[in-house]
Amino acid sequence: MRPFQYNRARTLADAMQMTHDAEATPIAGGTNLLDLMKLQVETPGQLADINRIGLTGIDDIEGGGLRIGALATNTVTAAHPRVRSDYPVLARAILAGASQQLRNRATTGGNLCQRTRCYYFTNIDQPCNKRDPGSGCGAIDGVARLHAVLGASEQCIATYPGDMAVALSALDATVHVAARDETERRVPVRDFHCLPGDTPWRDNVLEPGEIITAVTLPPPVGGTQVYRKVRERSSYAFALVSVAAVVEVQDGVFSRADLAFGGLAHKPWHDRRIAEALVGSAPSDELFDEAADILLESAQGHGENDFKIPLARRTLHAVLSSAAGEAA
């Protein structure tokens, strides 16, 4: 690991000063950042330890929603009574990720900011436009089993690896960010992560020096919530495909169908046309196929990950038919 200066922040203002003025990299749980520092993928000159600045609370907000502090651990969030009762898709998504030891350290903000597990990104001997802009992409025409089939570019086909953010996308959560001018800006989680385009080094819309302070969830809705994750082994593996669904059926037709997908793209994938196609129609195999057609309209495999396209279709089918069955 390269040498760095370590400073412990005591308040958010303290942390902002370190990340803004001193260009320090914030560290929370550290489970992703320290791993990448050992691999020399990340080589920060300064670390700002933000673990002692507060922001760990999970609190009811006016109108019935929930505010989850940026430094609430994944474990605490998944075990929180209101998350378990009102936002089960979020609890399920968190519990489907990593191991208990990692979830005990991982935080809301850090989880949103975790970086891709693309093998070329994490190996500094390989080309990677995300890590080393202009060096090329090893994954295109390379080992691409984990990689994107939606929204990729000629520069990068990496996937966003997380589960939590997929559920947050289905729930239409909002990310709260402390901006450099000491104001707070709010970003819908669906707009928080970026597609690679010509700037594959950019994972999300955070500007240098900005720190996530919280995620807020809208008031709970009725219906059924499902998180279905397909992976290589039954625990402790990243998603090949995952689906987060918040689904309600009334009078025999979908009255709500908020879906988000993991493992398919550089961000949790959300396409509002899918809900538009489902809402108002009665659940049927033909309808599920129509939803899958919309989802996969522009899907493109890269050899090793071609299987993700039919897998996404089948997983969407399975989730919609079981959710519609439960919600009916």
Partner 1 sequence: MTETIAVNGIPRPLPDDPRVSLLDFLRNDVGLTGTKKGCDHGQCGACTVIVNGIRINSCLTLAVMHEGESVTTIEGIGTPDEPSALQRAFLEHDGYQCGYCTPGQICSATAMLEELANDWPSDASEKLEGKVAISDDEIRERMSGNLCRCGAYANILTAIREVAAGKTA
Pairing between β-strand 46-49 and β-strand 5-8 as defined by DSSP bridges: parallel
Q: Considering the complex, what minimum distance in angstroms separates the CB of residue 29 from partner 1?
A: 8
Which contiguous run of DSSP H or E holds residue 49? strand 46-49
Q: Closer CB to partner 1, residue 4 or residue 201?
A: 4
Q: 58: which 2 tokens? A: 């999970």
Measured torsion, CA atoms of residues 136, 301, 165, 290, in degrees rounded to the nearest 10: 150
265's CB contacts (< 8 A; 6+ apart) are 148, 149, 150, 151, 152, 159, 160, 195
Q: Considering the complex, what minimum distance in angstroms separates the CB of residue 153 from partner 1?
A: 29
Q: Closer CB to partner 1, residue 104 or residue 321?
A: 104
Q: Closer CB to partner 1, residue 12 or residue 79?
A: 79
**Residue type for position 97:** G
DSSP string of 242-256? EEEEEEEEETTEEEE
Q: Closer CB to partner 1, residue 52 or residue 186?
A: 52
Q: Is 146 helix (H, G, I), strand (E, B) or coil?
A: coil
Q: Closer CB to partner 1, residue 83 or residue 175?
A: 83
Q: Considering the complex, what minimum distance in angstroms separates the CB of residue 39 from partner 1?
A: 8
Q: Considering the complex, what minimum distance in angstroms separates the CB of residue 101 from partner 1?
A: 5
Q: Considering the complex, what minimum distance in angstroms separates the CB of residue 99 from partner 1?
A: 3
Contact criterion met (CB below 8 Å) for 219 and 64: yes
Q: Closer CB to partner 1, residue 17 or residue 46?
A: 46
Q: Considering the complex, what minimum distance in angstroms separates the CB of residue 248 from partner 1?
A: 19
First-to-last alpha carbon distance for the chain, in angstroms, is 55
* CB burial string 113-147: b at 16+ within 10 A, e below: bbbbbbbbbbeeebbbbbbeeeeebbbbebbbebb
Helical H segments across the chain, by residue range: 12-20, 33-38, 74-79, 81-86, 88-95, 100-103, 108-112, 164-170, 189-192, 272-278, 285-295, 308-327
Residue with tokens 């399920």: 92
Q: Closer CB to partner 1, residue 34 or residue 279?
A: 34
Q: Closer CB to partner 1, residue 124 or residue 282?
A: 124
Q: Considering the complex, what minimum distance in angstroms separates the CB of residue 95 from partner 1?
A: 4
Contact positions vs partner 1 (CB under 8 A): 1, 3-6, 8, 27, 29-31, 34-35, 38, 47, 49, 51, 75, 78-79, 81, 84-85, 88, 91-92, 95-96, 98-102, 104-105, 234-236
Q: Considering the complex, what minimum distance in angstroms separates the CB of residue 142 from partner 1?
A: 21
Q: Closer CB to partner 1, residue 89 or residue 152?
A: 89
Distance of CA 1 to the CA centre of its chain: 27
239 CB-side CA count, 13 A: 33
Q: Considering the complex, what minimum distance in angstroms separates the CB of residue 140 from partner 1?
A: 26
